[in-house]
A and B are shown apart, each in its own frame.
Chain A
């Protein structure tokens, strides 16, 4: 009975993810011919060793396999990445309001990407492309600044948030200055910022997947440490945890994950805060549950948000319009209920 109860949130999460993926594949601005069974057959046909006659035309098959499917998969990866890193930041900072945006991670990544785009930086670092690499450096710099400036002995939420606001304002000012001096790049940078989940085939998925996999495994393995962190760094240390090592390992991993997601998807707000929060409210405060559930529900949420951005108006809405329209009222409701 207890095992059933424990498994229910995961089961629901899997169902939500499955539903989002199905809807994401089936619905779009172009109606794929035939039934959903035909789409299913086309998908199976794409798998090695399997052969099915789907009845879809070549262009429909192309839309399905090289436009919709990678977009849905990318949505899953970005949603899982943002939700997991949000949960991690909240655990490390012992602050339910910590999220990649409020901590300046996204602004740092945005500034880094802007500089890389404006100055066409040529360097790469391993699999990181220049924009992603610069976004990562910017993100890491921002979170280091915020965590130093917002440090307080008693984990005061207001101090961290004020530090975040100050750093975000500062980074935005630099970004505005850089853009002001290089106006010809504004459209390109703005396009990146609003990028959403626009894909060009599978390249973004192939770029992001290793990061999500490696960082995700690292973060999921540290749920217990985040639970120990919940008694504060000093008590965690006297309980036998090395708080500095764990804190920086998790901050660097979550920042790398956020930066890699932001590098391919632009800035998508609120996922990192509402998903872990909802998990905490619905299923309890242990990070051993919050982290894996954030993967499932974060992925499903972003795929549904992307479906909304594709279908609500005739043209494609930036996905942040959707996530912020859901996230901001949720945030307000949580504040109102004082549930944080």
Chain B
């Protein structure tokens, strides 16, 4: 890793629930402007790893941003890392604009309030994810795709350079899935973000991500470039089922089950 490119790294991360190791000695690194996918079967510890990275779970090992340990205090950490869980908790009767403005929490002093600049940034981020048209609607009234875009705008408002997303496309139909992943791809490049996502769809991982960590039973089974990892033999070992991997000039790697 060249020292002049900023990067987010996990070093020997382990997480245990009641004495049982759910994540076991995982390391990875992702540069600014790159997208890392964490994939693997259910129960492999992917979401736990992401939660640990976001500071919500205690863990062994350390997370680094530019070779320095990530801050512990929530306010400092939120300026370095933005995290969106798989299932968002939606506030009642809060409109989209106010929801996105929550992304500025870490930048406001304890008894302060949102500045003009905060409000302007929220409006800009809404425009960036093409959600300005429904900024007055309640977040509880949005479709799955709209909500993911709005949540992304909230995360972008944190102005952190690391973005952690737990299955950002899993609850969406295929049209919305491509829409949100393409948006994420664009933002990652435009904003020079280090993106780490848990993904279930290996075809998506192959198409959008620069690197993949393949997890099995809490451990890192393999990590590397998608074309190296998305191989029938490797996937059969990790998922315990037959898979077919097709390579397509236009669409890249396509992974089919059975």
Contact = CB atoms under 8 A, between A and B. Distances in A.
Interface of A: 154-155, 221, 224, 227-228, 230-232, 234-243, 280, 284-286
Band of interface residues on B? 20 to 34
B92 A230 contact: yes
Nearest to B75: A240
Nearest to A230: B91
Given A224-B108, A228-B105, A238 B92 contact: no
B55 A280 contact: no
Given A235-B85, A239-B158, A285 B55 contact: no
Contacts of A239: 74, 78, 102-103, 105-106, 158
The 3 closest A-B pairs by CB, nearest first: A240-B106, A240-B78, A230-B91
A286 B101 CA distance: 13
Interface of B: 54-56, 73-75, 77-79, 81-83, 85, 88-94, 98-99, 102-103, 105-108, 111, 113, 158
30 contacts: A155-B89, A221-B111, A224-B113, A227-B91, A227-B94, A228-B102, A231-B90, A231-B99, A231-B102, A234-B56, A234-B85, A238-B55, A238-B56, A238-B74, A238-B77, A238-B78, A238-B82, A238-B83, A239-B105, A239-B106, A239-B158, A240-B74, A240-B75, A240-B78, A240-B106, A240-B107, A240-B158, A241-B74, A284-B93, A286-B98
Given A238-B54, A285-B91, A285-B93, A227 B74 contact: no
Nearest to A155: B89
Nearest to B76: A240
B85 A242 contact: no
Nearest to B112: A224
B105 A240 contact: yes
A221 to B, nearest CB: 5
Main SS at interface, chain A: loop
Q: Which of A154, A224, A239, A241 has the most CB of B within 10 A?
A: A239
Contacts of A286: 94, 98
A228 B103 CA distance: 9
A231 B82 CA distance: 15
Contacts of B103: 239
A71 B196 CA distance: 61
Contacts of B81: 238
B56 A227 contact: no
Given A224-B108, A227-B102, A286-B98, A237 B93 contact: no
B89 A232 contact: yes
Contacts of B55: 237-238
Contacts of A221: 111
Contacts of B113: 224
A8 to B, nearest CB: 18
A242 B88 CA distance: 19
Contacts of A228: 102, 105
Contacts of A236: 105
A285 B140 CA distance: 13
A238 B83 CA distance: 6
B172 to A, nearest CB: 20
A332 to B, nearest CB: 20
Nearest to B79: A240
